Structure 1
Amino acid sequence: MSKKPISFGKISFNIAKAPENTKNVENSPDTSTSGFGTFGRTPIQEQKEIDEITDDLESQHVQQVMGIKNFGKKAKNFNVEEMLEQARKTAQEVSKKKLEEEAAKAAAEPEETPPDEEEEDIIGPLPPPASEIGPPPVEKSKKDGEDSDDELSSSEDEEELSLEKRIPNSHEVEMLHGTKAVVALAVDPSGARLATGSVDYEVSFWDFAGMDSSMRSFRTLQPCESHPIRALQYSATGDSILVVSGSAQAKVLDRDGFEILECVKGDQYIADMARTKGHTAALNSGCWHPHTRDEFLTCAQDGTLRLWRAAAPRQHRAVIKPRQQSGLKTNPTACAFSRDGNTVAAGCFDGSIQMWDHRKNFVNTSVLLRDAHQKQTEISSIAYSYLGSYLASRSNDETLKLWDLRNFKKPLHVFDNLFSRYEQTDCCFSPDDAMVFTGESLQRNQEVGRLIFYNTKTFEKVTEIGVSKSHVIKGIWHAKLNQIFVSCGNGVVKCYYDQKRSLRGAKLCIVKTHRKKHSVEVVSSQQIITPHALPLFRQEKLRTSKKKMEKERLDPVKSHRPDLPITSGQGGRVAASGSTLSSFVIRNLGLSKRVDDDQDPREAILKYAKDAEENPFWVAPAYKKTQPKPIFQNGDEDGPSDPKKSKT
């Protein structure tokens, strides 16, 4: 009699069987190879059997504890990948068979196929490539509103055309700062305000939300007294504006033009510029740090660049001294931060572009290019691209150069024949870095100053805008507003925008019209309503304000009517009044009588000679007793009188 095998769920061990039958035990479905009865290497068990064993043990445990075997039917497991693969294969076979049938049908009966018949939509994944199927599928008719790949792919000519269309210059607005050249221009980051500075020492503030179509600034002031404004820039948050003037001290104003701080002036008798607390000569340019809210940079004619903190304006934070190749100092004429704020760049008077790492000390340069521009000419502007890989530099040697910062030895391209008269003529990138633009000053034979746009990829001229009959100095393409602000040498500031693609800014002012404020007079006295009063004491109740205004218009006091012209009388209004001292004196002097201007003045005087001799009134009675007898010369004597003749 064989003994019953010991089992633990699906795990069983048969004691009665001999060891040579181990192979059969291993192959049986009811036995397990988890270590009971075998030694050495354990055979790998299928995952399916292990899952069944685990489920059986769980069901036994639930039955012991809760008295129930399971919770209904077990959910089926689906392999999603296998199902998707199967569906893909089925759809491919169906579509392949369908396309073959249609191709054969079209080849057999080409005349019976209606021309306007459309194919049915194929449900499922796309068919395999045409090389696997054989004949190409019939192209489905394109519905309205769908874009094809041919439309999206554009040639180089279309790309050039699209670049020109990206420039927002369909409309323009003109603002008048003054009569002198506007050499400083700044727009705050939000695009709500514009600040302009000129060589006439004035800074004007323009608020687009508060302006009407007259385009007048809401405040004009002279922050630096009798010093021309060199540069203006709003901070990264837009709450303050840096004012760089011809003096040695930069100022920071708030949004409304009130002074926040003034940098300290250095000691001009100290030779080492690092030992002084501030600049000792006229400033050239300045800019804010792009990310640090209270840090800004200035450069001056004393050959230094200085970093400042708004919290401590009494001393600079750091000083940078650019050097020539010979080791002598050189004046920085333009300065800028990189877009990430990690690099400080300066264009110097010796034609070099020098850069320092903002995270290290400023002793040695991180990038140095000696012959960037012609020597002894001002580099008027340095501009980083928005992505930070390109650099544009504008100089008074009539060139604009485009540089690649990854290979800074040679310029990518040189745009020449760009005449510039001002040390502040700048250059700027478009928001997508596809274009670079700069202004041009008027030469002797030119009539219109231009703003010229170049392609940064092909280096071709995209377009040019004729701004005004003067020099074009500053230009800013505001990325948020998508508007271009340009300042000119005749005191005009122009704003170019597109009606569809530009936002807010100058578009807010055009729709507003200037309306004269109507003064409303408030009557403080109470109105007593007396419906049954007599007509003499009855107050008129005016139902509309129009009738009230018409009635007040007839009242000479309320309407402030001027005095009516005099139609009769003489002597004017002074003689007519008669109650003043001047009118009394005029009447007594006899000037109130009518004077005939047509008669000879000598005859008019001699008319009173006899009356004055007989009845003197003014002079004769006072000198009557002491007046000598006048002796007149006879008319017969001709020639000069004898000086030796005795006078009687």
Structure 2
Amino acid sequence: MSETKMDENEDSSIAATMGFSGFGKKARTFDLEAMFEQTRRTAVERSKQTLEAREKEEQLSNKSPVIKGAPSSSGQKKTKASGSSSGSEDSSDDELIGPPLPPNVTGDHGDELIGPPLPPGYKDSDDEDDEEHEDDDNPVKDIPDSHEITLQHGTKTVSALGLDPSGARLVTGGYDYDVRFWDFAGMDASLQAFRSLQPCECHQIKSLQYSNTGDVILVVAGNSQAKVLDRDGFPVMECVKGDQYIVDMANTKGHTAMLNGGCWHPKIKEEFMTCSNDGTVRTWDVSNEKKHKGIFKPRSVQGKPVIPTCCTYSRDGKFIAAGCQDGSIQIWDRNMSVHTKFHCRQAHTPGTDTSCVTFSYGGNVLATRGGDDTLKTWDIRKFKNPLNVASGLENFFPMTDCCFSPDDKLLITGTSVKRGIGDGKLLFFDVVTFQKIYEIQVTEASVVRCLWHPKLNQIMVGTGNGLAKVYYDPNRSQRGAKLCVVKTQRKERQAETLTQDYIITPHALPMFREPRQRSTRKQLEKDRLDPVKSHKPEPPVAGPGRGGRVGTHGGTLSSFIVKNIALDKTDDSNAREAILRHAKDAEQNPYWVAPAYSKTQPNTVFAEVDSDEEEPDNEPEWKKRKI
């Protein structure tokens, strides 16, 4: 009350000073405590009514009286609600807030349900955690193989697969020397490649890989020079070829023998690596194609050079691993190229080609696919003995690979089969137990390449009969094959002709007026009848010929002779008569000899022969002159 009086005194003093009696209407004041109390009582009354209605419905449905003495949460809540309406404000913490609980909910205040009742099929967080734990224990559910699409690369083995980091484009290479580009966003249901080329002419494609930025592609073929192409297949650089007559391979600028594999550096986008039959592993820089960047030379136990059949970088790019033809696995520090950091001499059977070496996403586990039909995992920190071994996996190709799942729980690889004997399979192994937990029968040919993309969550497989298959799950996979299977096949476009813009001039003079524009089909038919527009060939000339053109008959010497012979009706059977026919004409109009003597000797004088000089007829034959 004292504060109110002080406010009134201040108002009266201000009014007297300003010269007017009041400031207008006073602002309304609200008693918030009273409003909260009223709201609380209304909620309690509504809760009572709802609870009573539910009890009546249950009595009608069960057709049995409710036992009053039976303990129930609803009775306790009702008692609390009635007691709270007559009690003090200190007991407001125990009152019912919000809609009442269903009768079947029991428990202490800490377990009471706040908010609307849960549906009957709801499971609390503990149950969800248990189910998630069960799902984690079963990694088979994470394999995206419910759907598949087939890309027809050709008829020969698909020996290389590459997918860019974003998962938008797939590139395939094979034994038919072709490299095909597939764009998932641009393809329709016909599943046709948008480009095909032969970057290395008549050499089988060994490896294809996009860089970590996805702008260039490394192409490794059966020749000694690796190539780098851009996303559209145009050449960017080509490695230089070394001198095969130099003994020390470190003194040559490039490889001198067939390449076996290659890959990009995971961190440095300009660096890539290749291995060759010349016994070296070389690193390159895209900006310098004249010389390699670094060289690593695998050695056997005796110190002799051995051929590396596959190579790869570690996930952080610090180590370089190579599988060699003597069965060894050798790992170098990228900055120290002389001595190996880790090595295992008897990793696989000597004399077999180790077809793949790959690191897990964690970086400590190394998986190798051997030519001795085995699959092994290694811990690089304890590199003497393998962690796990799986045998009996046939391998007929020098590029059969293996890869880890994105969560590092599974290891997949393919098996090879002979033609017409069984199906090639894609096998899934648990990394911890190394038990085969799943398999996919791909096709009636060997499974050569396999790739599990972490962003798309899709599996790409290359087979020995020219197919590239993509496995995906509509619910677990992203983009990729899901983009092209929903598109309808495009219709072939009809031939179109370029037409000029037609300007309508109704009041133009007849000499300037353009003809009325017709449809394309009618215009084409009209142009076909026009000999000039349709380029109709000119017909042969009848008669002797005109305008510099030869006539139909007599155009050539043979035809002229044939024509004259056919028209000549003289009989040349009597040669004397044929000659004497021209005697009178020759005498009157001499042509050959007589014109030369017409002035000096107009009268022809012939030689006279004496009678004495005449040869007697009785002269012997040996005295006669021989003519």
TM-score per shorter chain, which class? 0.5 to 0.7
Superposed CA offset, 1:195-247 (max 9, x none): 11111222112222222222222222211122111111111111111111111
- For the pair 1:361 / 2:321, whether they are aligned, the reply is no
**Matched AA of 2:341:** S
Deviation at 1:456, TM superposition (A): 1.2
2:63 maps to 1:110: no
The answer to whether residue 456 in structure 2 is matched with residue 481 in structure 1 is yes
Q: What corresponds to 2:433 in structure 1?
A: 458
221 and 138 in structure 1: CA distance in 2 versus 1, 3 angstrom threshold? closer
Paired residue for 2:85?
A: none
Q: How is 1:439-450 mapped onto 2 (pairs within 5 angstroms)?
A: 439-443=414-418, 446-450=421-425
Structure 1 residues 485 and 538: alpha-carbon distance in aligned structure 2, compared to 1, 3 A threshold: closer
Q: For structure 1, which segment, 442-451 or 425-434, has the greater mean C-alpha deviation from structure 2 after superposition?
A: 442-451
Larger radius of gyration: 2
Letter in 1 for 2:436: K
Q: How many angstroms does 1:378 deviate by?
A: 0.7
1:147 aligns with 2:124: yes
Do residues 230 (structure 1) and 190 (structure 2) align?
A: no
Aligned pair 1:402/2:377, yes or no?
yes
How big is each residue's C-alpha offset from its partner over 1:270-323, in whole Å with a ceiling of 9 and x where there is no partner?
A: 111111111111111111111111111111111111111112221111111111
Equivalence for 1:99? none
Determine whether 1:375 maps to 2:335. no
Deviation at 1:500, TM superposition (A): 2.2
Deviation, structure 1 residue 458: 2.6
**Whole-angstrom distance in 1 between the partners of 2:192 and 2:440:** 24
Name the structure 2 match of 1:385: 360
- Tell me the distance in 2 between the aligned counterparts of 1:288 and 1:497: 26
Q: Which amino acid aligns with 1:268?
A: Q
Partner-residue secondary structure (3-state), 1:266? coil
* Structure 1 Cα separation of the partners of residues 266 and 96 of structure 2: 55
Q: Partner residue of 1:500? A: 475
Deviation at 1:512, TM superposition (A): 4.3
Q: In structure 1, what is the equivalent of residue 261 of structure 2?
A: 285
Query: Residue 450 of structure 1 aligns to a residue in which SS?
Result: strand
User: Cα deviation per residue 1:24-59 (whole Å; 9 max; x = unaligned)?
Assistant: xxxxxxxxxxxxxxxxxxxxxxxxxxxxxxxxxxxx
Offset from partner CA, 1:314-339 (integer Å, 9 cap, x none): 11111111111121111110100000
Match of 1:248 in 2: 224
Cα displacement string for residues 65-94 of structure 1 (whole angstroms, at most 9, x for unaligned residues): xxxxxxxxxxxxxxxxxxxxxxxxxxxxxx
Number of matched pairs: 458
Query: Deviation of residue 408 (structure 1)?
Result: 2.2
Residue aligning to 1:261: 237
Q: Secondary structure at the match of 2:266?
A: coil
Question: In structure 1, how many angstroms separate the alpha carbons of the residues matched to 2:227 and 2:329?
Answer: 26
Q: CA–CA distance in 2 between the matches of 1:392 and 1:218?
A: 35
Distance in 2 of aligned mates of 1:623 and 1:138: 139
Alignment partners' CA distance in 2, 1:116 and 1:525: 89
Amino acid at match of 1:110: A
Change (3 A) 1:121 1:425: farther
Could you tell me which residue of structure 1 aligns to residue 249 of structure 2? 273
How far apart are 1:503 and its partner, in Å?
Answer: 2.0
Whole-Å separation in 2 of the counterparts to 1:112 and 1:361: 78
Among 168, 177, 192, the residue aligned to 2:153: 177
Tell me, in whole angstroms, the C-alpha distance in 2 between the residues paired with 1:178 and 1:355: 37
Contact 1:419-1:443 within 8 A present in 2 as well: no
Please state whether the residue corresponding to 2:355 is helix, strand or coil: strand
Letter in 2 for 1:239: D
Give the structure 2 partner of residue 427 of structure 1.
402
Find the aligned partners of 2:75 and 2:435 in 1 and give their Cα distance.
49
* Partner Cα distance (1:269, 1:116) in 2: 99
**Structure 2 CA distance for aligned equivalents of residues 200 and 462 of structure 1:** 35
Q: TM-score, normalised by structure 1?
A: 0.63
**CA deviation profile, 1:536-556 (whole Å, cap 9, x unmatched):** x998789xxxxx578679879
2:472 aligned with 1:515, yes or no? no
Offset, 1:340? 0.2
The answer as to whether partners of 2:457 and 2:477 remain within 8 angstroms in 1 is yes
Paired residue for 1:320? 296
What SS is found at the alignment partner of 1:465? Answer: strand
Contact 1:168 1:502 in 2 (8 A): yes
Distance 1:301 1:524 in 2: 62
Deviations 1:241-282 (A, max 9, x none): 111111111111111111111111111111111111111111
**What is the deviation of 1:397?**
0.8
Distance in 2 between residues matched to 1:622 and 1:257, nearest whole Å = 80
Are residues 1:331 and 2:307 paired?
A: yes
Indicate the residue corresponding to 2:59 in structure 1.
none
Alpha-carbon offset, residue 515 of structure 1: 2.5
**2:253 alignment partner, SS class:** coil
The Cα shift of 1:430 comes to 0.8
**Which amino acid counterpart does residue 171 of structure 1 have in structure 2?**
H
Distance 1:440 1:624, change over 3 A: farther
Q: CA deviation at 1:155?
A: 8.9
SS in 1 for 2:407: coil
State whether residues 530 and 538 of structure 1, in contact with CA within 8 Å, keep that contact through their aligned partners in structure 2.
no
Shift in CA distance, 623/257, structure 1 to aligned 2, threshold 3 Å? farther
Query: What is the alpha-carbon distance in structure 2 between the residues aligned to residue 296 and residue 401 of structure 1?
Result: 26
Q: Report deviation, 1:147.
A: 3.5
Secondary structure of the residue aligned to 1:463 is strand
Is 2:317 the partner of 1:341?
yes
Identity of paired residues, percent? 45
How far 1:346 moved relative to its partner? 0.4
Q: CA deviation at 1:159?
A: 4.0
C-alpha contact (below 8 Å) 1:404/1:411 kept by paired residues: yes
Q: Which amino acid aligns with 2:154?
A: G
Measure the CA separation in 2 of the matches of 1:121 and 1:159: 43
Q: Could you tell me how far apart the structure 1 residues matched to 2:75 and 2:263 are?
A: 69
Among candidates 221, 230, 233, match of residue 197 of structure 2: 221
From 171, 192, 203, the counterpart of 1:195: 171
Tell me which amino acid in the other structure corresponds to 1:198: G
Q: What CA RMSD, in Å, does the superposition of the two structures yield over aligned residues?
A: 4.1
Secondary structure (helix, strand or coil) at the match of 2:337 reads: coil
TM-score in terms of structure 2 length: 0.65
Residue identity in the other structure for 2:225: Q
Cα deviation per residue 1:372-415 (whole Å; 9 max; x = unaligned)?
Answer: 11111111001111121211110111111122223222222112
Alpha-carbon spacing, 1:136–1:290, altered in 2? closer, same or farther (3 Å)? closer
Would the alpha carbon gap of residues 113 and 165 (structure 1) be closer, same or farther in structure 2, given more than 3 Å must change?
closer
Shift of 1:175: 1.1
- Matches of 1:296 and 1:448 in 2, distance apart? 35
Q: Report the residue type matching 2:255 in the other structure.
A: H
Deviation per CA, 1:449-505, whole angstroms, max 9, x where unpaired?
111111112322231111111111001111112211111111111111121222222
Question: Which residue matches 2:446?
Answer: 471
Is the contact made by 2:502 and 2:517 (CA closer than 8 Å) also made in structure 1? no
Cα displacement string for residues 104-143 of structure 1 (whole angstroms, at most 9, x for unaligned residues): xxxx9435666998999999xxxxxxxxx99997899755
In terms of mean alpha carbon deviation, does 391-400 or 337-346 score higher? Answer: 391-400
Matches within 5 A, 1:56-205: 109-110=69-70, 142-143=118-119, 147-154=124-131, 158-159=135-136, 161=138, 163-205=139-181
Structure 1 residue 345, shift from structure 2 partner: 0.4
Give, in whole Å, the separation in 2 of the partners of 1:298 and 1:137.
65
